[in-house]
Amino acid sequence: AGLIGERNSEKLQFTTEPEAAAIHCRDSLGEHNLTCGTTFMIVDCGGGTVDLTTRKVLPGNKLGEVTERAGDFCGSSFVDGEFIKHLRRELGNEAIDLLRDNFYGQMQYLVQSFCQNAKIPFTGDDRDFYYEINLEE
């Protein structure tokens, strides 16, 4: 688009998602009540990974790194995979394979329903939390 005229221009920079989130927090210090000396954690829970970084607000609105960035492959898609494994244990591999091979849309609907009704509202506060699946629908 003509924004970058030379190869080593500083107009284009790459950063990680946690770093971008930390920059956003720095740029909105007042909104988040972050003052010089405040330490805060950025947790990015994505589909495939969960990434964490801990930052400290330094003088001059600079950001210091308190801990090294860390992450692992434990995002929400892995929760979905564990749900399918649970269904396989309860209903058998053959039933899930038949569902996947012959009614893929229904299987996707089942996972989506699990996400909307169990995964998203789950907080861990209610030890009696449960979600009932009607497999005849």
**3-state secondary structure (DSSP) of residue 56:** strand
Question: Which stretches does DSSP call E strand in 1-137?
Answer: 39-45, 50-58, 62-72
- Burial call 94-105: b when 16+ CB within 10 Å, e when fewer: eebeebeeeeee
CA atoms within 13 Å, Cβ hemisphere of 97: 3
> Rounded mean pLDDT of 88-110?
95
Q: Count Cβ atoms within 10 A of the Cβ of residue 4 and give its class: 0-12 exposed, 13-18 middle, 19 or more buried.
A: exposed
pTM for the whole structure: 0.63
Token output for 110: 């089942």
Band the pLDDT of 25: cuts 50, 70, 90: confident
